[in-house]
Amino acid sequence: MVSTYNPFQDRVHHFSANACLFPICSLYGAAVTTVEGIGSTKTRPHPVQERIAKAHGSQCGFCTPGMVMSMYTLLRNNPEPTMEDIREGLTGNLCRCTGYRPIIDGFKTFCEVILYSLNTAGIRFSQILLLIFFTQRNISGELFKMDGVLPLDPTQELIFPPELMLLAQKQGAQRLCFQSDRIRWISPVDLSDLLELRSTYPEAPLLVGNTNVGPNMKLKGAIYPMIIAPGRIAELSTVKEGEDGITFGAACSLTAVKDELKRAVSELAAEKTKIFQALLQTLSCLAAKQIRNVATLGGNILSANPKYDLNSIMAAAGCTLTLVSKGGSREIQLNEEFFTGFGKTVLRPDEILLSVHIFYSRQWEFVSAFRQAQRREFAFSIVNAGMKVVFKEETNIVDSLSIFYGGVGPTLVRARRTCQELMGRPWEEALLWEACRLAGDDVCLSPSAPGGRTEIIMRFSYMNSIGDSSGVIELNTRYLMLCFGSNQDVCVTDLPPEYLSALKAFENEMPQGYHSYQAVSSAQSLEDPIGRPTVHQSAFKQATGEAVYYDDIPSIDGELFLFLVTSTRPHAKIMSIDASEAVSMPGVVTFLSAKDVPGNNRRQWLTEVEELFAEEKVTCVGQIIGGFVANTREEAKRAAERVKITYEDLSPVFFTIEEAIQHQSFFKPERKLERGNVEEAFEKVDCILEGEIYMGGQEHFYMETQGVIAVPKGEDGEMHLFVGTQHAAYTQEVVAATLGVDANKVTCHVKRLGGGFGGKVMKIAVIASAAATAAHKTGRSVRCVLDRGDDMLITGGRHPFLGKYKVGFSKDGTILAADITYYSNGGSTLDESSFIMEKALLHMDNCYKIPNLRGRGLVCKTYLPSNTAFRGFGGPQGMMVIESVLHEVAAKCSLPAEKVRDINMYKEEAYTHHRQLFEPRDMVRCWEECLKKSAYHNRRLGIEEFNAHNRWKKRGISAVPLKFGIGFSKGFFNQGAALVHIYKDGSVLVIHGGTEMGQGINTKMIQVASRVLQIPMSSIHISESCTGSVPNAAPSAASFGTDAVGMAVKDACEKLMKRLEPIMRENPKYSWAEWIKKAYCEKISLSATGFFMGPHTSVDWEKGEGQAYFYFTCGACCSEVEIDCLTGDHKNIRTDIVMDVGHSINPALDVGQIEGGFVQGLGLFTLEELKFSPEGVLLTRGPSQYKIPALCDIPPQLNTHLLADTSNPHAIYCSKAGIGEPTVFFGCTIFYAIKEAIAAARKDSGLSGNFPLNSPATPEKIRLACVDRFTQMVCHSFSVKLFLQ
């Protein structure tokens, strides 16, 4: 939180801001409050910190401080916020773990209007009745209590420092100047001083919000020797209300503009504020509050970026700009002529933008704004538009029309001919069609524009269909409605009632929900924590900022930083590397390459050889070639930008699965599973359907990027690594081989991870090896922390899959035969791709007993960075294809999809296609309960009625079951180890082989130890995971961590209790501490190792059979969506999940993992899209280009139920650990619900039958799949243009 004092208003202003966008120099005179400053576990946490922790709103914890500070800032400004205030305040905060719902549950307790249920979430009356029913059945809905929480007391908050108030009152008479070795920063004292500086330094950027200059410096390496910061100048922040409109100073923040416009709309007549309303519509979803707090109106305009939405609206509205220089001032209109190119305007070098004048609207004047983005909030627009029409008084005749588009060219585009042709015409349907035709000529994208011809075709079609159909038809309908709403005698044709829903944009709502789980027996001791919703062990430390991640560890004296140098070519021979200039730069210590590796630079991985540093050739953009070691991160990065590498390009070069198939480029081996006689069955079926579905990849986007600190110990070649890894033993092994030492000389320490999701199993070993090599070479500690863009470029993600299928079925939807071929994009090296393909094949049946089933899997070798493990590990891809088959068969048979799923489902104990026995009882129960709890059948009827009465909005609903194998199919990984120490004071230290990364494994292990040792959880501590304490541990993956490690901890504790039993029996009245002291005095060992030897699982791929998994976990999910057929936007309405977790060890953690996995799957199937350039460069390399689900994407109703009366005899305390991974697949219910909604839209256009839709279902794909008159017109028009070219 940043706090500033205005001496003229005598007011302190608090606002939240992103630290990465806030230059230190701009904080002169400001007070900064961080999460550490508002509360602590050592003293007392702040109510915000306490409530997010108690509500289970912190999992990995890396995002928690940001959530806390956004909420804290909101409460400092408004101690009694509304739900909408909270929603707006948190929009700019991203979380990859929780799914957001528990965060909101904690924070909504600050709203007095909330009706509390047993789980303190706002609920409906019908849900209260359900919870009463749950209680009667020993089913609980209470995940947390807020009894005894600290009240919010605004009088006890930190005050603004008085010395800063005095400073603000005294300053202003002189310039502020800050000087570094590369940049000079000047803050002028007044407007005349600013104009003088502008005249002297015309090339120096003006910086207030830093939303343009900052990213250019951080991401593009731009250098500005001089920066002028005019934030203190009063004239630039002044707001003046005049007779014809409001004038805003150019440095007014977007938040200030929004607040002023809201005030004006509330106070002025509606006919005067139509421009304001259009701007407010866009401002409400432009960026996020943390960015709007610092971004300025003038900066938004002068950035001259067509993605910035406000320019198109203000240009259509005819807003004017006041420009000033030493020579005087001038006023110009904001229009397409103001922008001379991308990032360029007509401003002279010595001019500045002083103010922006926004006019009041007039009677018969209507203004509309439109934007379409990857998500509704916190995302740059794909295309935006501003439109204004003026009618001749008391008629529907167009007197003037102004339409501007952004995002369809390098600058703002005016639909000039369209506007001219339509003036003087009546506002009716014929005008709409003519507008669509004319706009196709007005707005034209060149096929040579960035992105390639295919992307341009898509964007052109998309822009025209949504730009004009939503822009013009929405204007048409909106304006007609406005005309009807007035009492004027307007001659217009009535709108069909089924069109009216198109007028209303989707509203973002806060997620809420109810939960149920089987409560523990009343006979269970109150001191026994198993089965109770216990708070995450680190939640309070994470909420107060005290939790330590690897990059929080203080620097060691003499510590260096490593920045990696990566390839810029996808397939090339390395001709030379010249690092001489870079090494001579200040602060640079050395350059690292393959020749510096003391051990093995190359290592054998299965059938492939992989390199640490590329030696002779590179096979992808982003492959590590070397690295610079320097005193600071910035010096190492600057050196990396100066290294000179020459290449000789090689052929072939290809990046897609389709191209790999053409080149027959595959990794070995090909995998195959088969049951029955597929060919024979095809000859007997009623129908045969062939098709394919493509499923795109996904970036892990863990909040904490990958990195390591390598510390050489100075003797015997020892190396300690403080590293963020899910597999410490593997990192230890690879680093030891790289250094040429035994594994016992390398020790890995893992405290916690800020998210992992499979991405920190393999890739981190390479980064750790590079850092260890640097530490070995220099003899000093070396830290390597990847920037977000480099992390995304280097480490890969989820494998894209292409599934091609041929399916035979009877007329009632029974599938008799299916032949499926899976292709995955493995990238340039094998990594874990073959194992992931095996998992996909093993899950290809999902929950369906198909008597004749064949699956083949091929991993494509392409020239992209290699993909790797990701939550679900191939399971979601494998199940997605069979669900697509079920969906298409249902459409072909004209049957509801859930009926076809039910017909084909396992109903009795049977062998799977890989011949593992499966008992489907709990799976069927999950399915039936999901349909019941979601009121599926009644809602489906309601959806059909909704669709019948709405032309441009459609709804869909989909329910999908799940069967997911738990454990490693490579049996040797199914083991766990632990070490438990009891100290003389009775305290207990548990060390285990798992990794805490938000899933709560440490919390569950403390619960297990507490039950066995019969002591409070507060007496048990887990410090870290360490290869020096628990060797050869399996990775924390495959949803097997709690099963393996839990049994090991239990084993160790039981050994200790067995040793203590005689003393406890002889001294029954002793306390725990006294028993321990007695045991020590009797020389009884108070330390024990525990081990769990899991089942032997394996698959004989030659025979195509085997016991692949320890057991199966099951579930079902139902989701409902609504799509906007004119824009391709969609809204997730409701999701219900039923999951079998056996006897839950911790229902709160399990529900959190289920919902977090679902939301990550929601992103996978509808939102997250990786894009590469034609040269193989990853384009989506940060949060501005790559969108994970935000708060606005979560279903407003998210209900999660843990199946009651179920048990799992195979795992710790009859629980099931497989919950976080499988539920990623539930995101497909959103995808198939969208497809159902699209089918309803196509039906209105006279189209029936099957149609293709690939994942993710982005707005472009949804819009173009909703074939209608607009898309047909655009596609025909564009095809003709391409032919003529």
Q: Rounded to whole angstroms, how far apart are CA atoms 137 and 91?
A: 38
Q: Which of 559, 704, 1221, 1260 is catalytic?
A: 1221
Q: Look at residue 81 and give its three-state secondary structure.
A: coil
Contact of 1097 with 967, CB cutoff 8 Å: yes
> Which two tokens mark 248?
């805003």
173: amino acid identity, one letter = A
d(Cα 389, Cα 422) in Å, to the nearest integer?
Answer: 10
Calpha distance 633→705 (Å, rounded): 15
Catalytic status, residue 704: no
The DSSP bridge partners found for residue 537 are none
The answer to whether the CB of 1239 falls within 8 A of the CB of 1176 is no
Please answer whether residues 23 and 214 qualify as being in contact, where contact means their C-beta atoms are separated by less than 8 angstroms: yes
Strand, helix or coil at 1211?
A: coil
Please give the single-letter amino acid code of residue 866. S
Closest to 295 measured CA to CA, from 260, 263, 257, 323: 257
Strand boundaries in 435-494, DSSP class E: none
CA dist., res. 628 & res. 593, Å (int): 9
Q: Is 85 helix (H, G, I), strand (E, B) or coil?
A: helix
Q: Which residue has the tokens 């159902």?
A: 1236
Nearest-angstrom CA–CA distance, 1104 and 353: 71
Partnered with residue 518 across adjacent β-strands are 139
Q: Which backbone phi and psi does 122 adopt, to 5 degrees?
A: -65, 125
What is the β-pairing status of strands 398-406 and 381-391?
A: antiparallel
For residue 454, the surrounding DSSP H or E stretch is helix 452-464
**Under 8 Å CB-to-CB from 222, ≥6 apart: which residues?**
213, 216
How many C-beta atoms lie closer than 10 Å to residue 963's C-beta? 24
| Residue 1196: cis peptide before it, omega within 30 degrees of 0 | no
Q: How far is CA 129 from the centre of its chain?
A: 35
- Name residues whose C-beta falls within 8 Å of residue 935's C-beta, 6 or more positions apart in sequence: none
The C-alpha atoms of residue 612 and residue 589 are separated, in whole angstroms, by 21
Q: From CA 949, how far away is CA 1125, in angstroms rounded?
A: 14
Q: Residue 73: helix, strand or coil by DSSP? A: helix
- Establish how many alpha carbons lie within 13 A of residue 257's alpha carbon, considering only the half-sphere containing its beta carbon: 34
Q: Centre a 10 Å sphere on the Cβ of residue 593 and count the other Cβ atoms it contains.
A: 20
The residue to which tokens 């007070």 are assigned: 31
**CA–CA separation, 382 and 1114 (whole Å):** 39
Contacts of 995 (CB under 8 A, 6+ apart): 725, 726, 727, 728, 750, 752, 753, 756, 1001, 1025, 1035, 1036, 1041
How far is the C-alpha of 919 from the C-alpha of 925, rounded, in Å? 12
Neighbours of 11 (CB within 10 A): 10
d(CA 252, CA 236): 7
Q: What are phi and psi of 1107, to 5 degrees?
A: -80, 90
Q: Are β-strands 560-566 and 515-518 bridged in parallel, bridged antiparallel, or unpaired?
A: unpaired
Give Rg (Cα) of the chain: 31
Q: Determine the Cα–Cα distance for residues 771 and 1249; give it in Å rounded to an integer.
A: 56
Q: Which residues are catalytic?
A: 1221
